[in-house]
Structure 1
Amino acid sequence: MTMNKLKVVTYNMRYDCKEDGKNNFEYRKPYIIRKIKEKSPDIIGFQEMLPHMKVWFEESFPEYNLVGCGRAKDYTDEHNAIAYRKDTFELFGLETFWLSPTPYLPGSRFEEQSICPRVCTVALLKHKNGIKPIRVYNTHLDHEGEQARLLGIGLVLERIKQDYECFPLPSLLMGDFNASPDCKEIQVIEEDGILEDTTKGIEYTFHNFGKPQDFIKIDYIYKSKEFICDQIGVWDDVEEGIYLSDHYPVEAHLVLE
């Protein structure tokens, strides 16, 4: 990678669930290793990464640093971890905030939300050959309530705007938003105008391990104006009925002007 080109991926890994049968995480591991090694993204934003999955990733991919904590009050449970290549980036800043009225209270959530806390992981990454750092925001909105998702994405957008006004830097927002492009939650981002959706044209990202009746687009990568999106696609690999996840990871090739 040159200092003005980035390969970025958002990847809902699907938590380790025994009920997934042959698509249980244990059986998907070799496919995940092969795919990430093959594509070698510069930055990956993960969702649904449990603590033991995080340990496995760190052992399997020593070329990456993986940052971020779990969403529970004791920092366990699912992580919205951000992975970045060690040979490419330095970590200049890291923060996790909860999507709630008390963003810095671990495990907190909105009253309108499901029982699952939700977080946003923010990494300030400096390319080793670049001048300015970039900000990467990775989140996973509530799976049950539209109101919770609206409150959550509102909090994230407010944070992005505050950061940009304080010190404008190229910014990326990625994740599983649990909302299709026609939903209010996505329209809020579009109307805000600070970020642009790179994933327009992708038909669906969630496929529930290949069940057409469940196909829906809910995974996104947004960029600030400093980036140009050169290419977008999904990792739709399947071998003998085994997928990388119940979501297709989404990959964007970005050029930093």
Structure 2
Amino acid sequence: MSLLFTMLAAASLPAAAQTLRVMSFNVRTPMAADGPNRWEARRDIFVRTVREQHPDLMGTQELHKEQGDYVVSKLPEYTWFGIDRFGGHADEHMGVFYRKDVLRLKDSGNFWLSDTPDKPGSITWGHPLPRMVTWALFEQIATGRTFYYYNTHLPYREEDEPARLKGAKEIVARIAALPKGVPFILTGDLNTTPSSETYALLTKTLQDARVASPKVEGPEKTFHNFTGQPDQRIDFILTRGFTPTHYATVTTQEAGRYPSDHFPVVTDLTWTASKP
């Protein structure tokens, strides 16, 4: 058992009803071409990682239905929801997992990062694939507190920074329209770094949980392409109305096999805003 897991687990248990543990995890879509890193070879390491970190809420990117269904079959305390980027269930989902004993789903939906955000599968900003947000309104069962949640995956090519910035503007505009005083969480693979305009725009409205946390563990960078040697920080948890108390980049592996080509990130949050 790793020291990181031991410290994370110990940090999460006290005053559980007053905190939320949130994870962002790019799953890596199932690809036979990944060979030894294909989903079937790493899915149990993925399940182990989630089990050990036991997030109350987890936003995934690149998730296929078979992956989501496998995870909840092994971790029945969780359920998941979402549709794929074309509006069905045959492609990549922004799959949202949550613990049924901790959170109650009160509302949910999707919008696309395009000039026609309510049109499933829409693309208007020059990137090759649809990009979307799956959102939810959750209630913490133990306290009755509510919060809004967005999960997203922005375009990946270097030349897509203008599209990423437009996507961030759409997200910020949607946040501004939410009820005032209700806390908010965004998880995502933003495919951009903290030096970008996209990050700067988002963090004018939201705080970066890694930056705000008094206790940070693990490498800063998150994308490692199954090597364990990350070279970019592109996975984020951003919040409003919460105080991060702990943040970690989780590097779980078994004999050099990783659960994904991204390290997941996880944070413990306490409620900052008064109860709505």
The verdict on a shared fold, with TM-score over 0.5 as the criterion, is yes
**Residue 96 of structure 1: SS of its match in structure 2?**
strand
Alignment of 1:1-257 (within 5 A): 2-114=16-128, 116-144=129-157, 145-163=160-178, 166-190=179-203, 193-200=204-211, 203-210=220-227, 212=229, 215-224=231-240, 226-257=241-272
Structure 1 residue 211 displacement after superposition: 6.3
Across the aligned residues of Structure 1 and Structure 2, the Cα RMSD in angstroms comes to: 1.6
Structure 1 residue 73 displacement after superposition: 4.2
Structure 1 residue 51 displacement after superposition: 1.9
Judge conservation of contact 2:85–2:93 (CA < 8 Å) in 1.
yes
Tell me how far apart the structure 2 counterparts of residues 135 and 53 of structure 1 sit (CA, whole Å).
25
Q: Which shifted more, 68-77 or 123-132?
A: 68-77
Judge conservation of contact 2:223–2:233 (CA < 8 Å) in 1.
yes
**Residue 247 of structure 2: SS of its match in structure 1?**
strand
Structure 1 residue 246 displacement after superposition: 0.5
Judge conservation of contact 1:58–1:65 (CA < 8 Å) in 2.
yes
Structure 1 residue 81 displacement after superposition: 1.1
Aligned residues: 250
Q: What one-letter code is carried by the residue in structure 2 that aligns with 1:218? A: I
**Residue 65 of structure 1: SS of its match in structure 2?**
strand
**Change in 2 beyond 3 A, CA 1:238/1:75:** closer
Judge conservation of contact 1:173–1:223 (CA < 8 Å) in 2.
yes
Judge conservation of contact 1:180–1:186 (CA < 8 Å) in 2.
yes
**Change in 2 beyond 3 A, CA 1:211/1:240:** closer
% identity of equivalent residues? 33
**Residue 205 of structure 2: SS of its match in structure 1?**
coil
**Residue 243 of structure 1: SS of its match in structure 2?**
coil
Structure 1 residue 238 displacement after superposition: 2.0
Structure 1 residue 150 displacement after superposition: 0.8
Gaps of 5+ in 2: 1-14
Q: Which shifted more, 73-82 or 168-177?
A: 73-82
Q: TM-score, normalised to structure 2's length?
A: 0.86
Structure 1 residue 96 displacement after superposition: 0.6
Tell me how far apart the structure 2 counterparts of residues 111 and 35 of structure 1 sit (CA, whole Å).
36
Judge conservation of contact 1:112–1:147 (CA < 8 Å) in 2.
no
Task: Tell me the residue number matched to 2:12.
Answer: none
Q: What one-letter code is carried by the residue in structure 1 that aligns with 2:155? A: D
After superposition, the C-alpha distances for 1:53-105 in whole angstroms (9 at most, x for unaligned) are: 12212322221120111111445310001111000111101011111111111
Structure 1 residue 37 displacement after superposition: 1.5
Q: What one-letter code is carried by the residue in structure 1 that aligns with 2:202? A: I
Q: Which shifted more, 35-44 or 53-62?
A: 53-62
After superposition, the C-alpha distances for 1:25-58 in whole angstroms (9 at most, x for unaligned) are: 1111111122212221100000000122122123
Judge conservation of contact 1:10–1:251 (CA < 8 Å) in 2.
yes
Judge conservation of contact 1:75–1:106 (CA < 8 Å) in 2.
no
Tell me how far apart the structure 1 counterparts of residues 54 and 36 of structure 2 sit (CA, whole Å).
26
Tell me how far apart the structure 2 counterparts of residues 61 and 153 of structure 1 sit (CA, whole Å).
33
Q: What one-letter code is carried by the residue in structure 1 that aligns with 2:232? A: I
